[in-house]
Chains A and B, each alone.
Chain A
Amino acid sequence: MTTPNLTDAGPRGASTPVGDVVLRVRGLQKYFPIQSSFLRRTIGQVKAVENIDLDVHAGETVGLVGESGCGKSTTGRTMLRLLDPTGGSIEIDGRDVTHLSMRQMVPVRRSAQMIFQDPYSSLNPRHTIGKIISSPWEVQGVNPEGGVKKSVQELMARVGLNPEHYNRFPAEFSGGQRQRIGIARALALRPKLIVCDEPVSALDVSIQAQVLNLLEDLQNEFNLAYVFIAHDLSVVRHIADRIAVMYLGRVMEITDSDSLYRSPRHPYTKALLSAIPLPHPSMRGQRERIVLTGDLPSPSNPPSGCVFRTRCWKAQDRCATEIPPLSEVSPGTSVACHFPEPAKEPVSFTPPQA
């Protein structure tokens, strides 16, 4: 299923350069088998990612948000073939990589890298910083201009590390500095796309802001595309141009950041946004809070029809029988809901037809 707004860039802010598509995902699925403990027979499947379509353009940041267990990290990992997709297709930088072997993937990884959430477990404690940052070159057989050491030190300086610390070990660095090491490593091959999986959620707020600013600067400098996975909605709104809201492995809504926060169209998005604490004590009680009852259903046995219907206050009979397709309700905004919320002004383009 293709929806026009996902394949086209749609109307966007002038500040965002619209470049080539560096990542194209169609109908992406990832199921994990559930095996019986005795005979290791497959007795069910966890549908972690179900039917995701997404285009990411050069220089653009696409945010993936949702609650824990919604499949956003699995989506990010499957996109880069760190996990094998169950179905669908993945194109990185114009090349279909869906069925490539791990060896065939090696050259593809020059253009697509990843930054991980935990700056403690994602760096080998027995390697020096120099070795960690230069390892992508080693794997790819690249000889950087001017020599490895000089190039690593340039990268270190670029991400705000002291180049003299070339021979130090990860244990000598704080969380924020380690995250900078991870960023330098991801940058080493000058990729076009970086998947950032919760890159700042393990950091203190003041350090978080430093790393977010660094990511923005690097994006401007190298025209990087980011897939930014996070559960902190204010961080995602700040950094992303477009945001996809996920629930139980599916995209519920995808639109540009400003529209999403001004006028959420999917009931789930609305509930999610209403749960964010208001930033000033004088605003207490000013927002109508939509409290979702119950917990996330099990992804091994998702509800029929719309997966959100069990917690949705607008659900009707139709929601139980018919899966709502992700369809465009206004230019640049797609929603998977039979009864989307009306759009709130200011809307500079045509009103929704739904």
Chain B
Amino acid sequence: MTAQSTGQVAGAGTTKRAFLELDELKVSFQTEDGIVRAVDGVSFALERGRTMAIVGESGSGKSVTSQAIMGLHSRRAAKISGHAWVDGVDIVTAPEADIRALRGTQMAMIFQDPLSSLHPFYTVGKQLVEAVQAHGEVPKAEARRRAVTMLDRVGIPNAARRVDDYPHSFSGGMRQRAMIAMALINNPALLIADEPTTALDVTVQAQILELIRELQVEYNMAIVLITHDLGVVAESADDVTVMYGGRVVERGGVDEIFSRPSMPYTWGLMSSVPDMEADRGKRLEPIPGQPPSLINLPKGCVFRPRCAYAQHVPDGRCDTERPDLTPVDEGHDARCFLTLDQKRTLAVKAPGTEEVA
């Protein structure tokens, strides 16, 4: 297990770094139209056993962030700066061979679309065996035994028989389970789940989220959960990072974020979803307009063009100056010029919290 030893040696030399730590991570792509600043300075820390949800719309940079953590960006196409430490190894600067060794054993990823992440030409078993053998000298029979055990663990009925089936004969929920089995077969310490349940029905979603929670406890995994579904966040996350236009606009503990959301974009997200607990006739309050182009970000606050609260900030600061992430409370930061008082009084309530002020 060269991967783990590299990780631990590098980790030992640094002072108390979190298991996963991002420090001013930036990813940009050069295109014909200009430079796309997909991720523009993201920082957070995550320990094993905890779940960080990254919330945002398409184009907010949440998937690009997760791909950077996995070291999946081509260094030729993407310009990456800042740091992304996984167990002490900085993915941004580490040699490709070291990152490859980390992938699978220390970190793994599950995707939204299980059909396109499984190879249609090989049986599920063969793909699992390959995942085991890629990271060590494991005899084929032993690898196959582990494949069956893992499939059984993720709840595939008749695992010993289904291991020889092709992905197309699995249902959507079973494919997602098979992909989770493949990601977890080498017992990774960090799992990145990019919209893991978006393509699934609610009943299957509930099963998969429950499964991920169980496996998290069993393997003491750190989980980065990328989603746009606030209900999934409310159920599964410990901490929340809200992203907009490639930056973190708010972050904090899940209870804090839902009880006291502190910036207009987060408010907009919360008032955009129909509230199952509220009166049915209540009109939704969407965020007007559309997400910004990452090539031509607005001057000043990136959310300014869609923000209904800018008139509360004096001197048109929102138009000219980029706000910093400033503390709202301990462990809770927001990127907004509104004063603390304004953040409290203007706040929109999260769904399901009619009584919470």
Which chain A residue has the least Cβ–Cβ distance from B155?
Answer: A293
Chain B residue total in the interface (Cβ 8 A): 52
Tell me whether A289 and B280 are in contact (CB under 8 A): no
Q: Is A29 an interface residue (CB 8 A)?
A: no
Contacts of B172 in A (CB 8 A): 68
* Interface contact A206-B272, CB-CB below 8 Å: yes
CB distance from B276 to the nearest CB of A (A): 5
Find chain A residues with CB under 8 A from B171 CB: 295-296
- Within the assembled complex, what's the spacing in Å between the Cα atoms of A278 and B207? 15
Choose among B173, B237, B271, B273 the residue that contacts A295 (Cβ–Cβ < 8 A).
B173
Are A237 and B276 in contact (CB-based, < 8 A)?
A: yes
In the complex, chain A residues 219-243 whose Cβ is within 8 Å of any chain B Cβ: 231, 233-235, 237-238
Asked if A280 and B274 sit within 8 Å, CB to CB, the answer is: no
Q: A206-B272, A235-B274, A281-B258 are in contact. Are A176 and B290 (CB under 8 A)?
A: yes
The reply to whether the CB of A174 lies closer than 8 angstroms to some CB of chain B is yes
Q: In the complex, are the beta carbons of A276 and B286 less than 8 A apart?
A: no
Q: How long is the Cα–Cα vector from A205 to B242 in the complex, in angstroms?
A: 14
Which residues of chain B come closer than 8 Å to A234, judged between CB atoms?
Answer: 231, 273-276
Q: Does B157 contact A (CB under 8 A)?
A: yes
Minimal Cβ-Cβ distance residue in B for A257: B280
The answer for the CA separation of A283 and B350 in the assembled complex, in Å, is: 12
| Complex Cα–Cα for A271 and B201 (A) | 12
The residue in chain A whose Cβ has the minimal distance to the Cβ of B228 is A205
Contacts of B228 in A (CB 8 A): 204-205
**A309 to chain B: closest CB distance in Å?**
16
Which of A68, A274, A281 has the most B CB atoms < 10 Å from its CB?
A281
Within 8 Å of chain A (Cβ to Cβ): is B75? no
Interface residue ranges, A against B (CB under 8 Å): 15, 67-68, 174, 176-177, 204-210, 212-213, 216, 231, 233-235, 237-238, 257-258, 261, 271-272, 274-284, 289, 291-292, 294-296
28 contacts between A and B (CB under 8 A): A15-B281, A176-B290, A204-B228, A206-B57, A206-B286, A209-B287, A212-B274, A213-B283, A234-B276, A237-B280, A238-B274, A275-B206, A276-B231, A277-B206, A277-B232, A279-B231, A279-B276, A279-B350, A279-B351, A279-B352, A279-B353, A280-B234, A280-B356, A282-B259, A282-B353, A291-B203, A291-B207, A296-B171
